């Protein structure tokens, strides 16, 4: 008997005018696992992702998180449900330091105002921020402004900021894009650790197959808005429809 999924995407459809970007898509993500969404450009991955993080409202279907229907929850409430996301294009505060950027990620679960959080964070919050900065390997750059970091380190900073939310579900849109091999290896290790050690559930959209195949427990493959395959990395890699979707375009 399998456990109830942590995330259950049920028959979602998203239309933009006459274009059906996502067409009756369903998949389940088990708690504490890494689930990847892959597929050719324009397949509907980011649109699906944006429905789960509530930036888009699906035209039809349901999104159930830990047994709760969140299909109509506003994006601003998702932090309360324990959902954190990173963006395909970074959204950092360039003029603020690494430390301050991660500190701001604590805001949803901090008691006071934003100003107070920045000026006088409590010891527990400071410790959390420093431990996250260390975990993503940015201790050396703790006081560097975000805009001075190279792209790979900015992505790690965004991940640390998302973790500051203490998420139960982490949504990552192309976390490895633009990273060097060494940074990809660090990300690989960190994401595995987040699921096995911290029990976080991860859903990622990713093009870097080396990473997807190494870290994913399950993979859902999309093409033209629909699910064309699903399974373990080995099952998906040998699926004829997947090979055709990637090579036949
Ligand atoms: P992927 O992330 O798999 O590359 P997307 O989800 O970004 O694909 O896009 C799926 C389809 O939906 C594409 O044809 C894209 O042009 C279209 N699309 C995405 N977002 C919008 C939008 N906001 N308005 C209109 N069309 C969109
Ligand atoms: Mg995309």
Distance 121 CA to ligand 2 centre (A): 36
For ligand 1, what atom is nearest to the CA of residue 14?
12
Task: Name the closest ligand to CA 37.
Answer: 1
CB 219 within 8 A of CB 208: no
45 C-beta closer than 6 A to ligand 1:
yes
All residues at 6 or more sequence positions from 144 whose CB lies less than 8 Å from its CB, including other chains: 97, 98
Distance, CA of 243 to CA of 249 (rounded, Å): 10
pLDDT for 248? 66
Give which of 164, 206, 214 is closest to 186, Cα–Cα.
214
Segment 78-126, tens digit of pLDDT: 888 899 988 655 678 889 999 999 999 888 778 788 888 888 889 999 9
Q: How far is CA 120 from CA 27, 100, 137, 188, in A?
A: 43, 12, 24, 34
CA angle 216, 232, 152 (to 5 degrees): 20
38 C-beta closer than 6 A to ligand 1:
no
Ligand 1, atom 22, residue with closest C-alpha: 16
From 28-32, 89-93, 98-102, 207-211, the region with the lowest mean pLDDT: 89-93
pLDDT for 112? 81
Q: What is the mean pLDDT of the chain?
A: 92
Distance 231 CA to ligand 2 centre (A): 21
Reported pTM: 0.91
CB 32 within 8 A of CB 200: yes
21 C-beta closer than 6 A to ligand 1:
yes
Segment 164-198, tens digit of pLDDT: 999 999 999 888 988 889 889 989 999 999 999 99
Task: Name all domains of the chain by residue range, CATH numbers in brackets.
Answer: 1-82+167-249 (3.40.50.300), 91-166 (no CATH)
């Amino acid at each position: 008997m399998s456990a109830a999924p942590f995330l259950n995407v049920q028959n979602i459809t998203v239309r933009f005018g006459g274009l059906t970007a996502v067409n009756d898509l369903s998949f389940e993500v088990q708690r504490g696992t890494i689930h990847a969404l892959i597929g050719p450009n324009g397949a509907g991955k980011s649109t699906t992702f944006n429905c789960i993080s509530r930036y888009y409202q699906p035209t039809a279907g349901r999104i159930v998180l830990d047994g709760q229907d969140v299909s109509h929850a506003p994006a601003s409430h998702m932090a309360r449900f324990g959902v954190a996301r990173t963006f395909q294009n970074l959204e950092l505060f360039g003029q603020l330091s690494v430390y301050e950027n991660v500190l701001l990620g604590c805001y949803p679960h901090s008691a006071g105002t934003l100003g107070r959080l920045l000026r006088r964070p409590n010891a527990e919050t400071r410790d959390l921020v420093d431990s996250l900065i260390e975990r993503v390997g940015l201790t050396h750059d703790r006081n560097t402004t975000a805009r001075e970091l190279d792209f790979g380190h900015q992505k790690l900073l965004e991940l640390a900021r998302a973790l500051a939310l203490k998420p139960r579900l982490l949504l990552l849109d192309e976390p490895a894009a633009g990273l060097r091999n060494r940074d990809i290896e660090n990300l690989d290790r960190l994401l595995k650790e987040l699921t096995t050690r911290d029990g976080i559930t991860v859903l990622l959209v990713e093009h870097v197959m080396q990473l997807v195949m190494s870290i994913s427990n399950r993979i859902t493959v999309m093409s033209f808005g629909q699910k064309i395959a699903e399974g373990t990395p080995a099952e998906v890699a040998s699926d004829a429809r997947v090979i055709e979707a990637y090579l036949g375009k």
